[in-house]
Structure 1
Amino acid sequence: MARDPETIEREIEQARTALAATLDQLTVKADPKKLADAAKDGVRAKLDNPKVKFPLIGAGVLVLVLLVRKLLK
């Protein structure tokens, strides 16, 4: 059964509108500045956790002590 051209045109226009809306959403979600800010916030939140923060501080102190010992030899 053949469809009339007006119905086909209307469906094409609806598909274009839906595609444009999807592209707009992807553009907003894929904004590099927003992605970088989200990553930065995630890292900060992770580093604020004492279970991560204190072992990193300890590892940094250990590396510093080893470097100082090596330089003084």
Structure 2
Amino acid sequence: MARDPETIEREIEKARDALASTLDQLGTKASPKRLADSAKTSVLAKLEEPKVKYPLIGIGALIGALLLRKLFR
């Protein structure tokens, strides 16, 4: 069964539009700025968890105390 050229052209155009849309979505998802913002948000959320936050504060205080001890020796 032969298809007319106009139908084929319409199908090609639909496929081209769908491909362009998919490529735009992939470009948005893979954007370096978006990936960096997402990573930053994840890290900040993780640092706000008490089981991560308080040990880091403790480690920072210990390092500060050791530095002060070394300076005033």
TM-score, length-scaled by structure 2: 0.74
Runs of 4+ aligned residues of structure 1 deviating over 6 Å after TM superposition are none
Q: How does 1:14-53 map to 2 (within 5 A)?
A: 14-53=14-53
Structure 2 residue runs of 5 or longer lacking an equivalent are: none
Partner of 2:70: 70
Amino acid at match of 1:51: K
Indicate the larger mover: 34-43 or 56-65: 34-43
Cα RMSD of the aligned pairs, angstroms, is 2.2
1:10-48: CA deviation from partner (whole Å, max 9, x where unpaired): 554333222211111012112222222211211111111
Does residue 57 (structure 1) correspond to residue 60 (structure 2)? The answer is no
Aligned length: 73
Identity score, percent: 69
